[in-house]
């Protein structure tokens, strides 16, 4: 009886080992796609793509376009990527927050190498892990999250658009007839100045200017032997000022943020507090790289943060201002709500 039981036990043990091996193979196959996903490379689709601490979490900065990143897992429409680059050491400080050892002390660039290609721009307070130091630079690393719509895979292929069908051929006579039929009739209000002439505010009044011979004009009214005309010409912007009737007063920054399209292009008269003169970089989608702008607060007494684009002709004047100087400005609304921080963006027109 003992011998039969021992034989039965000896048969079972190899079967249990085989089952365990099959289970390990099954688990390894199930885990393989997750492991290979982390090795995938993706590319940032556009400038200014936000990088977040968590999906829909705190914004840590903005990526530059065409930066290649190592992708990790995806969650809720976002992909985890690894930020790896170099930052000026003077823009960081030691920390122990959230298990990280470096904190960004002011808005600063991350580069692929010291003084190398731009990778991202981080906001003040962003936390990082230090990897190594090299002179005035420190290499940092951190996993962050990016919306899937802001990334593309290098393996993606674009389907070429089908070639357009050739237009049907027409004979030259038919083409000439169609062109003649489509030509607009001459406009009787169009005219050309015969010789240099004086301009008058009203018939038989004092002259206010002149027009040279050959200048095209448009007739907009008649009174006896007189006609009222309009002429198109260019002048330097600093030689004119907006009409008072065209300038809005009493508009708050909160109103601009609440209805940006309603105020786009309108002129405002504001009292602002000048903070500093800045230069836009490629990570600010609301500006042209190299554009100069004021960082300010306004209008009084609200004093929200506001950006004011400075024309080249007025840069020297703004450079002489001391921080916290109060300015009365007339400015045009470029955008009542900027892309990331929702601050109004204005363009300086005049400083009465």
- The model's pLDDT over 10-21, given as tens digits with 9 standing for 90+, comes to 444 444 554 554
Q: What is the mean pLDDT of residues 34-58?
A: 78
Measured CA to CA, the distance from residue 348 to residue 289 in angstroms comes to: 18
pLDDT at 178: 57
CB distance 215 to 231 below 8 Å:
yes
Lowest mean pLDDT among 72-81, 115-124, 156-165: 156-165
- Residue 129 pLDDT more than 60? yes
Torsion of CA 17, 21, 26, 28, to 10 degrees: 140
Helical residues (DSSP H) of the chain, grouped into ranges: 2-37, 172-182, 253-258, 260-263, 315-319
Q: What is the mean pLDDT of residues 204-218?
A: 85
- The model's pLDDT over 318-341, given as tens digits with 9 standing for 90+, comes to 999 999 999 999 999 999 988 878
pLDDT at 206: 82
Q: Which of 91, 77, 79 is nearest to 125 (CA)?
A: 91
Q: Is the pTM of this model over 0.75?
A: no
Before 299, cis peptide (omega within 30)? Answer: yes
Q: Would you give the DSSP letter of residue 69?
A: E
Q: Which of 147, 158, 186 is nearest to 45 (CA)?
A: 147
Band (pLDDT 50/70/90 cuts) for residue 128 is very high
Measured CA to CA, the distance from residue 327 to residue 311 in angstroms comes to: 16
Measured CA to CA, the distance from residue 349 to residue 217 in angstroms comes to: 28
């Amino acid at each position: 009886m003992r011998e039969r039981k021992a034989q039965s036990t000896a048969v079972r043990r190899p079967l249990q080992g085989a089952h365990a091996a099959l289970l390990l193979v099954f688990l390894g196959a199930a885990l393989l796609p997750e492991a290979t996903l982390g090795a995938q490379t993706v590319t940032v689709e556009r400038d200014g793509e936000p990088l977040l601490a968590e999906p829909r979490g705190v914004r840590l900065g903005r990526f530059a376009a065409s930066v290649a990143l190592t992708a990790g897992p995806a969650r809720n429409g976002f992909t985890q990527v690894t930020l790896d680059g170099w930052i000026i050491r003077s823009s960081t400080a030691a920390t122990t927050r959230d298990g990280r050892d470096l904190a960004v002390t002011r808005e600063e660039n991350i580069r692929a190498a010291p003084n190398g290609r731009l990778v991202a721009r981080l906001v003040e307070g962003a936390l990082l892990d230090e990897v190594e130091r090299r002179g005035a630079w420190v290499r940092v690393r951190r996993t962050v999250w990016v919306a899937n719509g802001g990334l593309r895979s290098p393996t993606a292929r674009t389907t070429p658009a089908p070639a357009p069908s050739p237009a049907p051929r027409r004979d030259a006579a038919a083409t000439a007839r169609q062109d003649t039929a489509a030509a607009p009739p001459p406009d009787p209000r169009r005219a050309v100045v015969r010789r240099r002439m004086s301009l008058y505010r009203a018939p038989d009044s004092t002259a206010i200017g002149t027009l040279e011979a050959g200048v095209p004009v448009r007739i907009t009214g008649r009174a006896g032997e007189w006609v009222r005309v309009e002429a198109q010409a260019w002048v330097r912007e600093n030689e004119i000022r907006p009409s008072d009737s065209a300038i809005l007063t009493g508009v708050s920054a909160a109103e601009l943020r609440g209805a940006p399209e309603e105020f786009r292009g309108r002129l405002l008269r504001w009292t602002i507090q000048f903070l500093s003169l800045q230069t836009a970089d490629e990570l600010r989608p609301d500006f042209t790289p190299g554009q100069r702008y004021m960082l300010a607060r306004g209008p009084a007494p609200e004093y929200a943060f506001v950006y004011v684009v400075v024309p080249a002709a007025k840069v020297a004047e703004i450079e002489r201002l001391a921080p916290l100087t109060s300015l009365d400005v007339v400015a045009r609304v470029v955008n009542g709500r900027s892309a990331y921080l929702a601050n109004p963006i204005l363009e300086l027109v005049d400083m009465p």
